[in-house]
Amino acid sequence: MACLSAGAQSPEATISAARITVPLDAGWRYAAGDGLERAEPGYDDSGWESVELPGSLSPGSVGTYFWLRNDITIPPELAGVPVWFETGKAGCAFDVYVDGAYAGSRGALPPDYYVRPQQNLALLLPGDLAADGRVVIALRCYYEGSESSLPGFLLGNAARANFIMHLQNLFNMRVYVILAVICLFLGAYFIAQFIGKPGDRASLFYALSLIFIAIYFTDMGAERVIINGQAMRAIGRASLSASLGFLLLFLMKFFGTRGYKAARIAVAADIAVFGVAFIASTGNDSAINSVFNLSLLPVFAVIILGLVIVARASIKGDRDAWPILIGLVIGVGFGIHDIVYQVLGRDPFAWLQGFTFFALNLSVFIAMSARAARAERSLASYMKETSEQRDRLSGLVGSAERLTAETSAVARDLDEAVSGVAGAAGKSAVAARVIGDSVARQNATLGDASRAVGGLVGSIDAVNAKLAEEASLLDDTAMATSRLVDGFAEVAAIIEDTARLATSLDEHTIAGRKDVEALAASMDRVKVSSKEILAVVDAVNDFAERTNLLAMNASIEAAHAGAAGRGFAVIAQEIKKLAAASSERAQRIGAIAAGIDGSIDAGQQLGAKVRESLGKIAEGAAETAVRVRSAAEGTARQKAQGSGIAERAGNLAKAARSMRDEGARQAGLSGDVGGGMTELSRAAAEVGSSAAEIVAMNVDLAGEAEALRELAGRARKTAEELAVLMAR
């Protein structure tokens, strides 16, 4: 027995903008089984079961033929005009017979069974049959399931038929085919992007989501089957669940959400379980519908998780999350529309579930395009910053060159000063040897004078001669001492100049090291910027590849459009040229950035050598300054001692002259002579000690001068190396 649940509708006709519809919900009779004789108008169907529509019909076993018949009176509002029979979105396939004549089909009966539940048809009733105002409509139905929905049938005029065939079917079927083509195009685009960047798993997941949703849209909108109708329906329904699973993985990758590994396992399990369930349900429409309703649970779970992920990203300030969030909200609104109609048990003008997923995919595409646009703007900013860094680097190189020239000048001055110190040290050594010889002769003379004191009275003439010789020797000593003092003064002046030069060299060396360290820091920043430039160049290359692919597809579509698409083809060609130019410029920028990176590496190595050389100069300058200060102090002491020697030598010469003038009185003053000789002996000892000290100091001064010469050579060599490095 058949089981039917029906709802009543008003039998009155509905007229809207010249569209006329008359419901045919009453008077239908049902019987299981088959036989074309049931289509004849005289066939006796009095024993059939009466049914009212809309409702659900259970014909019995799966894969059963059944018939519906109704004796219809043409309503007055349709009299005299062509009358159309509206099939509604029935869940079964059937052939329509009017007074025994075949009038059309909805879907296809076996062996090529298929049915499109979302399709509504309007079939023209033969005019000669409806001329008397009465017709018998018989429907030969077939359904591979346990329960078939029958939303109800209507009669309408041509305006209603045009509305059904062109507008309603556009939104219920053809638009899904358009959406499928768009999704396949976008899926191929992101597959190509993943091939270009294998590490971009987000693009791969999004492409798979688009491809699977395109399969679902194809099943929804195709008016003819590509493969077996049941298999196509099962594959299409399974693709919806797979598409949402990959969309969840995309969102988690795109926003860096935790739990990616667990989600990947759950999505794989969902695809496997429902894929097997849909395949196992092939051949039973009711079973496919049951599995599909069950698969909607994880679909809604994915939508809720997606809302949570995108909302959290929006709260964290991710600008890419806002377009996706808006798309999700719009999609949920479309989904609520379908849910409300399902709860009310009514058939809407169009089911909007396709627009739900398309709104989400469109928002994702907008978000990814916005991210690519920001990457392009970042590239422009990095290029500007790189130009500024290059200008600053040029200034630093100029400063380093000026520092090199100044270091060379300081090295030359130091070399000249060291040469002067060495010459002065040589002169001082000669003067010290002269003083030593003079002291030795003075000591010998004093010995002779001491031995001659005992016979002083008897040898006044010999003493006078000796005194004259002694006066001459003392004059020579005074002159040599004066020259020694003058040499000490000259050495002191040279050493003071050397000390100032050494201090200047130390200061310039420290400044040079600071400048070189600043240069190295700037090179590090430029190197980081060059690496960021290379990353952005990769993003520009990706963008250029996408633009090129988009232009290629646009050219293909323009070619398909013929003459109407010529203008769009020109625009597509220009976009392709722009993509090629962008790619070429990006490659040139990448090559320049790589060259800058190599130059920075070489500059960093050279900077390290400069820092090492300046460090050696600083150590040598500090050592030189210490030694020069020590030499200056020794020279000051020598100068003071030389002044004392000169003063004593002058006094001795004066005393000798007085002794010569007073020689006549020496006989009576022999005691005074003995005391004077004692004093002279003591002064001679002091002169000898001072002479020995001067000789020792001259030896030290000669050593210091040699050290200064070596240091000057090192400074000159370092300056030359620095100049060579900067010349590279």
At 707, the pLDDT band (50, 70, 90 cuts) reads: low
Average pLDDT over residues 543-566: 76
Average pLDDT over residues 698-716: 64
Looking at residue 667, the DSSP 8-state letter turns out to be: T
Give the residue among 76, 189, 94, 72 at the shortest CA–CA distance from 149: 94
> The tokens of 321 are what?
């999350």
Backbone angles phi, psi at 316, to 5 degrees: -75, -5
Specify the residue for token string 């004789």.
37
Q: Is the Cα torsion angle 82, 86, 92, 98 positive or negative in sign?
A: negative
Tell me the per-residue pLDDT of 275-322, one tens digit each, with 9 for 90 and over.
888 888 776 777 777 887 888 788 888 888 888 888 888 888 888 888
pLDDT value for 13: 47
pLDDT value for 471: 62
- Number of Cβ within 10 Å of residue 528's Cβ equals 13
Residue type, 475: D
Sheet holding 148-150, edge to edge: 4-6, 55-57, 148-150
CA distance linking residue 361 with residue 721, whole number of Å: 64
Give the residue among 327, 353, 324 at the shortest CA–CA distance from 257: 324
Q: At what angle do helices 175-196 and 201-221 cross, to 10 degrees?
A: 160
> The tokens of 663 are what?
């020689």
CA distance linking residue 547 with residue 193, whole number of Å: 11
Would the pTM count as exceeding 0.85? no
CA distance linking residue 264 with residue 236, whole number of Å: 22
In angstroms, the Cα distances linking 256 to 260, 323, 366, 543 are 8, 17, 19, 22
CB 396 within 8 A of CB 515: yes
Pairing of strands 28-32, 64-73: antiparallel
pLDDT value for 699: 63
Tell me the per-residue pLDDT of 403-437, one tens digit each, with 9 for 90 and over.
656 656 655 665 666 566 556 656 655 665 665 66
CA distance linking residue 546 with residue 548, whole number of Å: 5
At 396, the pLDDT band (50, 70, 90 cuts) reads: low
- Longest CA pairwise span in the chain (Å): 194
pLDDT value for 8: 34
70 has pLDDT over 90:
yes
> The tokens of 159 are what?
């305006």
Contacts of 151 (CB under 8 A, 6+ apart): 53, 54, 88, 89, 90, 347
CB 698 within 8 A of CB 432: yes
CB 494 within 8 A of CB 424: yes
Architecture of the domain delimited by 4-156? Sandwich (2.60)
Q: Could you please report the per-residue DSSP string of 90-155?
A: -SSEEEEEETTEEEEEESB-TTS-B--TT---EEEPPTTTTTTSEEEEEEEEEESSS-EEE---EE
Backbone angles phi, psi at 28, to 5 degrees: -85, 145
Fold of the CATH domain 396-727? Helix Hairpins (1.10.287)
> The tokens of 406 are what?
């100044």
At 96, the pLDDT band (50, 70, 90 cuts) reads: very high
Omega before 59 within 30 of 0, i.e. cis: no
174 has pLDDT over 70:
yes
Q: For 363-367, 548-552, 623-627, 722-726, which range has the lowest pLDDT when averaged over its residues?
A: 722-726
Higher pLDDT, 609 or 723: 609
At 29, the pLDDT band (50, 70, 90 cuts) reads: very high
Q: Could you please report the per-residue DSSP string of 339-399?
A: HHHHHHT---SS--HHHHHHHHHHHHHHHHHHHHHHHHHHHHHHHHHHHHHHHHHHHHHHH
Domain boundaries, the chain: 4-156, 171-351, 396-727
Average pLDDT value over all residues in the chain: 74
CA distance linking residue 115 with residue 8, whole number of Å: 26
Assess whether the region 4-156 and the region 396-727 belong to the same CATH fold. no
At 500, the pLDDT band (50, 70, 90 cuts) reads: confident
Give the residue among 242, 314, 228 at the shortest CA–CA distance from 274: 242
CB 363 within 8 A of CB 306: no
Contacts of 603 (CB under 8 A, 6+ apart): 519, 523
pLDDT value for 624: 66
Omega before 54 within 30 of 0, i.e. cis: yes
CA distance linking residue 489 with residue 156, whole number of Å: 130
Residue type, 331: G
CA 101 to chain centre: 72
**Torsion angle, CA of 219/224/226/227, rounded to 10 degrees?**
90
CA distance linking residue 154 with residue 53, whole number of Å: 11
**What element of type H or E holds 72?**
strand 64-73
pLDDT value for 14: 47
- 70: β partners: 137
Q: Percent of the chain, pLDDT > 70?
A: 61
pLDDT value for 43: 94
CA distance linking residue 492 with residue 208, whole number of Å: 90
> The tokens of 642 are what?
């030389």
Tell me the per-residue pLDDT of 214-267, one tens digit each, with 9 for 90 and over.
888 888 777 666 666 567 778 888 888 888 889 888 888 888 888 888 988 999
CA distance linking residue 62 with residue 146, whole number of Å: 6
pLDDT value for 10: 39
Looking at residue 74, the DSSP 8-state letter turns out to be: P
459 has pLDDT over 60:
no
Average pLDDT over residues 532-560: 75
CA distance linking residue 538 with residue 679, whole number of Å: 99
- 653: exposed, middle or buried (C-beta count within 10 Å: 0-12, 13-18, 19+)? buried
At 1, the pLDDT band (50, 70, 90 cuts) reads: very low
Looking at residue 86, the DSSP 8-state letter turns out to be: E
Higher pLDDT, 444 or 54: 54
pLDDT value for 683: 57
